[in-house]
């Protein structure tokens, strides 16, 4: 099995960059969660039933959205 390895030199900025990227990723995930909750909440009970979701399970499905 072949694989590629990239060796990047460690600098003092590397940990800060990793923290920044993680923070941006968390903010993007939160925005996706809020958007998904809003869109699913806007549907009627009949529309939610058509796709097999109840109002109580909206947060569950929103957390699973990618």
Residue 37 falls inside a structural domain = yes
Residue 9 falls inside a structural domain = no
Measured in degrees and rounded to the nearest 5, phi and psi for residue 59 equal -60, -35
Domain extent at residue 55: 15-64
Distance CA(31)–CA(26), nearest Å, equals 9
pTM (two decimals): 0.70
Distance CA(21)–CA(41), nearest Å, equals 30
Dihedral of alpha carbons 48, 54, 58, 64, sign: negative
User: 7-62 pLDDT, tens per residue?
Assistant: 666 556 566 778 899 999 999 999 999 999 999 999 999 999 999 999 999 999 99
Residue 20 falls inside a structural domain = yes
Is residue 64 helix, strand or coil? helix
Residue 2 falls inside a structural domain = no
Residue 10 falls inside a structural domain = no
Tokens of 37: 């909750």
């Amino acid at each position: 099995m072949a694989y590629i390895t990239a060796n990047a030199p460690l600098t003092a900025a590397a940990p800060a960059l990793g923290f920044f990227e993680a923070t941006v990723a968390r903010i993007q995930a939160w925005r996706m969660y809020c958007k998904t909750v809003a869109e699913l909440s806007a549907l009627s009970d009949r529309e939610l039933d058509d796709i097999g979701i109840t109002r109580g399970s909206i947060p569950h499905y929103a957390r699973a959205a990618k």
